[in-house]
Amino acid sequence: MNINPALCGTANGFLRANMSYRSQWAAFGNAYRTMGFSADAPIIKKKKTYGSYLGTGINVYQDRAGAAKLSKLHLAGDVSGVVVMGDGLLSLGIEVAYEQRSISGAGLKWDSQWSNNQYNSAISSGESESASKSAFDYSGGLAYVLRRKPSTISSNDGTELVISASVFHILRPDMGLGGGDPLAMRYTGMVYATLGLTNTNVRLQPRLFYNQQSSLREINAGCIFYYVLQNASSYTGYNVESAFGVGASYRYRDAIIPEIHYYKGDFFCGLSYDFNASKLTPYSATRGGLEITLRFTDVAGKIFGGNGASRSF
């Protein structure tokens, strides 16, 4: 949902919940730390009906950085309208978010607080100690998701394709702590696929992501190679599918990002690390960002009494 609100409710299952943690630029000490949680599920969806349904979700994350505790809190609700088209889904989604940004000067040292070449915290800095700003923010997007199941459990010839486009900060809320600083609209696009190599245990997961806000652009491309350790049982359900993945992405002129993935049944764990490859490298010592993701996907509807859907990927 951080990429596109239209992806809300489009998971291969009945519930998807994510938890993530990221620590960025450790070489700079108390740099950015991000914690996030999201959950989404389809609603008003009959078990044997092919047509339309709604997706709903929540998306929460917080950034915090530096001695000044520069912080961003994002609380959002997402809704999508999804139309089933054969093996594909066409989704239109919106997000309504409450955002709060704040900063505290209590931990900062100012030039005016130095006396006789020594820092004296008792001297008033004359600066504002803290500031905060909050506003509602609106975003929207369109997505197409195609899933074709394998012809047999072991054939590994299934495919998945996701095409996504979205716009954030549609009404350009003013989030400047000093005022008079409306956010520029942000545009994102993504193409993502999972391709099984027929009659092997190998799957490829290439992806391409584009992000633009004002004159700033981000291009991220990469691929994950999965090896299926165990196929799911066809009828008994005693065995669940498990796989191990390894790969890397490259964020243009910024970072090289190796990744390790593992999932078993409904549970997924991902670990990645950004090795800085930008002009910041002499100062960051190539140390970028460590990110950990945990995900639960209720594929077979165990929680909500689904119709026994099987995992395609």
Identify the structural domains of the chain with CATH numbers, from first to last.
5-105+128-297 (2.40.160.40)
Residue 150 near residue 196 (C-beta atoms within 8 A): yes
In whole angstroms, what is the distance from residue 72 CA to residue 173 CA? 14
pTM score of the predicted model: 0.88
Angle at 191 between CA 260 and CA 90, to 5 degrees: 120
Distant-in-sequence, close-in-space partners of 261: CB < 8 Å, separation ≥ 6: 224, 226, 243, 244, 245, 246, 268, 269, 270, 271
- Could you list the mean pLDDT of each consecutive 10-residue stretch along the chain, which spans 313 residues? 95 92 83 94 70 93 89 97 93 97 84 87 79 95 94 86 98 87 96 94 97 97 96 70 96 96 96 91 83 92 54 45
In whole angstroms, what is the distance from residue 17 CA to residue 13 CA? 11
In whole angstroms, what is the distance from residue 291 CA to residue 41 CA? 24
In whole angstroms, what is the distance from residue 167 CA to residue 181 CA? 19
Helix H or strand E segment including 283: helix 281-284
